[in-house]
Copies of this chain bind each other. A is one copy, B any other.
Amino acid sequence: MRGAVIHAPGDIRFETLPDPKIVDPTDAIIRTAVTCVCGSDLWAWRGLDATDEAHPMGHEYVGFVEEVGPEVTAVRPGQFVVGSFATSDNTCANCRNGWQSNCLNREFMSTCQADYVRIPNAQGTLVATDEVPGEEFWPGLLAVSDVMGTGWYAADAAEVRPGSTAVVVGDGAVGLCAVIAAKERGAERIIAMSRHESRQRLARAFGATDIVTERGDEGVARIKDLTDGIGADSVLECVGTAQSMSQALRSARPGGNVGFVGVPHEVAVDGQELFFSHVGLRGGPAPVRRYLPDLIDRVLSGRIDPGRVFDLTLPLDQVAEGYRAMDERRAIKALLKP
């Protein structure tokens, strides 16, 4: 088969690789329907995450089950399945508590920009659709496996409630999906912080009621202006820098909540500032598996269309162009078709 391999920053090649095999009895092999490039993949592309030796890339996938290990009974060959970037047995103490992305047997996916993929913990990770969905649903279901699940978790961790005000920090694919999530969870006012017109348009289409283009102190002041001077009930932090986290914490009202889903890079939260703010803070890799059945329903019923975050579609063999387009901000997110 063929798949993407990173050799060095800026050097992604589409290569012939060994076909994946069942290794553990809980594995499945899927044939990729569609896959994509994630904003977090750009850390390696840009050299901000080290690439010590060449390795495959990609953690988002939907596909057709090809083969299952002897302990996998939840899905069967031929079915169309959606999974998560974090695999889970869905039986351990953390999974039972709803934190499948902290499964005691968790393995993060990392080989999905390829024709075929081995899925560890397939029994607890994969969810099959009742029928093979039409191709028009594939991008939405692919989004569910990571960015939509992550946006949903941001809204969950930030405790977005009906009638509340939510701020979304970050206008990447996750931030845009976070707007969808805030809307679906009943937020009455959704303020998207974005400086890019095309992304502002999509944010509005997804349910944003206000756009704030300022950042830092000015951005916080604008949020306060829009929220009776006290800040928002919920803030969804979808970037992961020190600046964006500070922006998020200062935009929440006393007693409000920040859900942070951008992997923090060099972020430290001052204890005393957090204390006197009364803001609640929760983050982490999204427990996508917990949300999968619900989110799959919302996509297949046409209620949400997170697949709209894909504004570039490429054949899988042009994966490197997907990275380039996203790195240069020519694309929000690149869909890859085998």
Contacts and interface: CB of A to CB of B under 8 A. Distances in A.
A193 to B, nearest CB: 19
A263 B275 CA distance: 7
Given A269-B271, A271-B264, A271-B268, A93 B276 contact: no
Contact of A254 (B102, B245, B268): B102
Interface residues of A, number: 41
Nearest to A230: B93
Interface string A136-163: 0000000000000000000001000000
A264 to B, nearest CB: 3
Number of copies of this kind of chain in the complex: 2
A88 to B, nearest CB: 12
Interface stretch (A18-26, A34-42, A280-288, A313-321): A280-288
B228 A93 contact: yes
Contacts of A254: 94, 97, 99, 102
A245 B268 CA distance: 14
Interface in A303-319: none
A264 B267 CA distance: 18
A272 B264 contact: yes
Given A267-B270, A278-B282, 15 more contacts: A93-B229, A94-B253, A97-B253, A102-B278, A157-B280, A245-B271, A264-B271, A266-B271, A268-B270, A271-B283, A274-B283, A276-B285, A278-B287, A280-B282, A281-B281
Which 7 pairs from chain A and chain B are nearest by CB?
A267-B271, A264-B271, A102-B254, A280-B282, A278-B284, A99-B255, A269-B269
